[in-house]
Structure 1
């Protein structure tokens, strides 16, 4: 793969020689992964024999795609140079080639904008900041009939979508899975890495330059508490107790995601978090069917205070719509977000999570974080609103809205990490 304006480095050239249909590349900062992937799209668009070839570059946010990728795409297409035959649509962030091919930029924060299209090639950039379902539910089906390819690039931010795709890629012969650490590539000078290590925390350096999936997430609200739960064996198999009610806590999205936590309050003041569900763009009737399909014996349903707001189209509130579907909500108190976050911190040490059914929700809680302001060198007082927000908000409404039993002694745990909620044992 070549471009007159692009000369691949040693590692980039090696990747290009080994690329198959699917690839996941975990790379340190300043590796050149964006340039590599942009040029893969450009060359595929130019070399195809199809006159309707379609490619996509997907960043976590639409504005990120515009800020980071758009100028690079125009540059390597030859924008402003004599002989450039590519036309650029600034409104749609789309490049139209003279052979009929197109490359367009998208944001993963609006999955619905990606539905209904077909794709021949797609690049996911900074996958660690995206929900996995953008790939599994939306993009993977869009590649099927065209047998299109996909490339995932990014730097770790804990065990999330990038980690899951990395783990899959390592064991699938149809995938290229490669990791490039700064200490091994030689791209950045040793003195620059040493200077970065002095300025950054060890966790930050391990994550950004050594591609560590287990380094702490900067600004995470619940990261340490969830690490404690993992270490103490509270991330395990937690079956529902059929003799006890299942309580639900919801974050209700309008045009974006709705999340539901399923929790049982157990003797001794502990909570068994047995299930989690999230979907996007669905009405309340969809979630009512999900409750029925789960088959639990329900107790309290907890919703945010804005469920009382009347919708312009119907004149009815979602509270009224839910009641007509047989769901009667208790309303969580409308308290400051920080107070709600503190309430979550209070109950997390008493929570046991089903690690399989709750996996997407757990990862969202693990990555729910404050933004860092480089100008003031301090963290924001408010959380970042991204794919983690819906699960975190739903859990916050549970912590605030559920009438908790009187705290009792924590369940006794034997040396083999006995799980008091089932016959299984917690993993080591």
Structure 2
């Protein structure tokens, strides 16, 4: 029988590196479905196991039939001399001459998978599935025969695909790979330019540049963080012991207090080396946190309301902090939108430690404008939710950090942001 599948360069590289569990995050039209179908077919034909069983799971059963069934029949060689497969149309099942089977399923009916054993499974468009289909149903089905799983998809925010991507990246037994349209060359540049013109920036970042967060509706910083990731500026960022660590705080009592730890490197680069957040704690707790981290500290930046005196003690938190050995610089009190613009100006100069700053980065990614469903448009203010404290602290750094530099005024902020447009 003639050869029906010849992998592209990136597909061939994937096949050489796949592990027992693999997560592939790929741009649209990459060819991930074709790759996955052919891996199942090859395993079904080459296995020496008795009654080998493979499954291809799409978000919906009708999607499996519409997208995968024709591919499966084509690459099995239906209608060609030497085809060793019989197809059951009612069950979307391919039966091989050696006793192997490949069957299509929909994640919308996970009970159809219960009680089965599996040697191989492909999850297609994992972002549209509940995570429990994997953890509760399919993972146990692979156990007794030590089967493998391949997860493929394009991001759609933080969901099952994102969970698997993060989980896999921390485990040596898993393989992960991300393929962006700007890097693979699979799609012609003219086609990408046309898609970019027709789509919103957030949609394009999601579908073609594999951003987990850029398509969050109304996100303020999703595109900028996507740029930092592509430039390799989100990863391991060691603390330089020769430079001070500056902190920026959003102070809360009943709600969260957030602290960013940043080093200002020569050449105007900023390195977010750590992040901490807790709730319901007094300043004594955070003073101990600073001591425990053991950094050589520079400036500490706080919001303007740190001067407000508390009813219970008659002292302001600024005075309490000074008693604990923390001397705060007070961030100027400017409108929130001006602070957001200051963050936008400063973000391209940042590097983030992906591990220590994970929670803070997530907050920056998800910080978004409020949407008015009745008006069908965004409000001029951000949503106040779990993201607010981390972003407020980062905003105070962008607005309030001052670094003494030869030849500049001592009151000039690091990003030179001026909401009033005056000459600096």
Q: TM-score, normalised by structure 1?
A: 0.52
Tell me if structure 2 keeps the 8 A contact 1:28–1:209: yes
Matches within 5 A, 1:12-411: 12-217=11-216
Give, in whole Å, the separation in 2 of the partners of 1:73 and 1:153.
16
User: 1:133 offset after TM fit, Å?
Assistant: 0.4
User: 1:216 offset after TM fit, Å?
Assistant: 2.3
Give, in whole Å, the separation in 2 of the partners of 1:167 and 1:190.
30
The C-alpha deviation readout for 1:152-203, integer Å capped at 9, x for no partner, is 0000000110001001111211111000000000111111111110010000
Secondary structure, counterpart of 1:164 in structure 2: helix
The C-alpha deviation readout for 1:219-274, integer Å capped at 9, x for no partner, is xxxx879x9xxx998798789xxxxxxxxxxxxxxxxxxxxxxxxxxxxxxxxxxx
- Structure 1 residues 78 and 9: alpha-carbon distance in aligned structure 2, compared to 1, 3 A threshold: same
- Structure 1 residues 52 and 215: alpha-carbon distance in aligned structure 2, compared to 1, 3 A threshold: same
Structure 1 equivalent of residue 7 of structure 2: 8
Secondary structure, counterpart of 1:96 in structure 2: strand
- Structure 1 residues 238 and 162: alpha-carbon distance in aligned structure 2, compared to 1, 3 A threshold: farther
Q: Give 1 or 2 for the bigger CA radius of gyration.
A: 2
Tell me if structure 1 keeps the 8 A contact 2:156–2:212: yes
The C-alpha deviation readout for 1:100-125, integer Å capped at 9, x for no partner, is 00000000011111100000000000
Structure 2 equivalent of residue 343 of structure 1: none
Tell me if structure 2 keeps the 8 A contact 1:27–1:153: yes
User: 1:51 offset after TM fit, Å?
Assistant: 2.6
Secondary structure, counterpart of 1:151 in structure 2: strand
Give, in whole Å, the separation in 2 of the partners of 1:186 and 1:24.
21
Tell me if structure 1 keeps the 8 A contact 2:205–2:215: no
Number of positions where the alignment pairs a residue of Structure 1 with one of Structure 2:
245
| Structure 2 segments unaligned to the other structure (5+ residues) | 223-249, 259-276, 281-358, 360-365, 367-372, 377-383, 393-424
- Structure 1 residues 52 and 189: alpha-carbon distance in aligned structure 2, compared to 1, 3 A threshold: same
Secondary structure, counterpart of 1:144 in structure 2: coil
Tell me if structure 1 keeps the 8 A contact 2:157–2:213: yes
Give, in whole Å, the separation in 1 of the partners of 2:123 and 2:3.
24
Tell me if structure 1 keeps the 8 A contact 2:86–2:96: yes
Answer 1 or 2: higher relative contact order, Cα 8 Å, separation at least 6. Answer: 1
Give, in whole Å, the separation in 2 of the partners of 1:181 and 1:416.
29
Secondary structure, counterpart of 1:24 in structure 2: strand
Tell me if structure 2 keeps the 8 A contact 1:3–1:39: no
Tell me if structure 1 keeps the 8 A contact 2:21–2:150: yes
Q: TM-score, normalised by structure 2?
A: 0.53
Tell me if structure 2 keeps the 8 A contact 1:3–1:43: no
Tell me if structure 2 keeps the 8 A contact 1:54–1:102: yes
Secondary structure, counterpart of 2:142 in structure 1: helix
Secondary structure, counterpart of 1:204 in structure 2: helix
User: 1:80 offset after TM fit, Å?
Assistant: 1.0
RMSD: 3.6
- Structure 1 residues 11 and 139: alpha-carbon distance in aligned structure 2, compared to 1, 3 A threshold: same
Tell me if structure 1 keeps the 8 A contact 2:26–2:32: yes
